[in-house]
Structure 1
């Protein structure tokens, strides 16, 4: 089953009949089995599924962090599979933002310096208006001169979110971004991600196992056994949990 799509909306990323196989012979494992997903620009999409369902593999393939065995992946109108290492490096630097469980902030740099690091590496200067808007959205204007050790976990993750936003990427991929945070800090970060979509027009794709986290998204796409098995728009935590229970039941029966 493919995720339901809207054909008249610009797309930030998409997968077309994507297969991903690891290993060979008896050790072969199919992580993705003919996946078709379209991710709309200016939308917050959560990807959920049991462990080993393929959700993180799909994200890694879309972001050019892993290769596909068959099919095509695109970021905007750029075909990712088949790119050279140099082209992939440029794509990830200029068109994609990343947020991970680990904040990956440099301890010797201030919050502001960490936010600006990707642009500094690329030899680019930020748009002053955009930087001001990102800093306003992240809500840490009073903490920009602080180093990571002087910030709470939630604040550090919001710095990481701002760092992903500052280069105005085509899409931001977030892999369990609240996985290392307590519930209060996690809520802070999820509200920030939602606000960055609504206020800044950002596109975010988040892999999560948490129904509450998924409820902050505009749309949830569900994976099981390497396939897309359903989706929900305007999700609630209860609706997401119910869908996950159904998927789990089907997997156990199978």
Structure 2
């Protein structure tokens, strides 16, 4: 008999539908998507412009609500939570990294990293935070302010901040969009190492095949539907898959 290993799911959506507007002008940004994001893995979401990839991330993260279907963080149905409990869940169990670094310019690197913990009124696990500083390579920058850092260094601070509260899952929306190629490679490598070294889950939206190649798996969307999944991606394989999409103009909500 062959033993089977159960893979824990950090986040998932089931029959996810998101409609912007109503009536004849309504646009179906997500059209019955069901997808799971395994714990401890780095997953990239890709698709043509207007495919629904950012909408999927926002709904999976609890930043936006579904029109129908369900979104879960672990075993928690986000649709069952009121605004207060949803805010607490995002604070305690979800991390975010965006294209804009969103650092507080008057705070030091150390203060930016621990800001979510400080706002929550608790010190968090300081040993965990200290280890994160070494993972992101910012030990010699802790007392600097964002304006004294390069773009790549600022995004590394944002990555450390996202992981500081030991979230179940970190969502990254085009995290290298404002970086040069070298800094982008460093941040992507960092996201992968952070996921594997801390056993956390990373879900990244990107339009870049090179960025997607850093992930363990790529999920492909087209016209609001899940159309493919690719394990162990390479930039060439991802690019070939993207070329296979028949791109048609589509007016909708966030991509």
Spell out, residue by residue over 1:187-226, the C-alpha distance to the aligned partner (whole angstroms, 9 max, x if none).
1100100110121111000000000000000000000000
Q: Give me the whole-angstrom Cα distance separating, in 2, the residues matched to 1:208 and 1:81.
A: 26
1:19 corresponds to which residue? 17
2:253 corresponds to which residue? none
TM-score of the pair, normalised by structure 1: 0.95
1:49-128 alignment runs, 5 A limit: 49-128=47-126
Q: Give me the whole-angstrom Cα distance separating, in 2, the residues matched to 1:129 and 1:85.
A: 31
Q: Give me the whole-angstrom Cα distance separating, in 1, the residues matched to 2:51 and 2:68.
A: 18
Q: Give me the whole-angstrom Cα distance separating, in 2, the residues matched to 1:252 and 1:197.
A: 35
- Secondary structure of residue in 1 paired with 2:200: coil
1:181 Cα deviation after fit: 0.3
1:1-16 alignment runs, 5 A limit: 8-16=6-14
Paired residues, what number? 246
1:7 Cα deviation after fit: 8.3
- Secondary structure of residue in 1 paired with 2:162: helix
Spell out, residue by residue over 1:36-70, the C-alpha distance to the aligned partner (whole angstroms, 9 max, x if none).
00100000000000111011001100111111011
Q: Give me the whole-angstrom Cα distance separating, in 1, the residues matched to 2:106 and 2:132.
A: 22
1:133 corresponds to which residue? 131
User: After TM superposition, where is structure 1 displaced by more than 6 Å over at least 4 residues in a row?
Assistant: none
Q: Give me the whole-angstrom Cα distance separating, in 2, the residues matched to 1:80 and 1:252.
A: 32
TM-score of the pair, normalised by structure 2: 0.94
Q: Which sections of structure 1, spanning at least 5 residues, go unmatched?
A: 1-5
Check if 1:239 corresponds to 2:218.
Answer: no
1:237 Cα deviation after fit: 0.2
Check if 1:46 corresponds to 2:49.
Answer: no
Picking from 164, 180, 183, the partner of 2:181 is 183
- Secondary structure of residue in 2 paired with 1:81: helix
Picking from 169, 172, 180, the partner of 2:170 is 172
CA-based RMSD of the aligned residues comes to 1.3
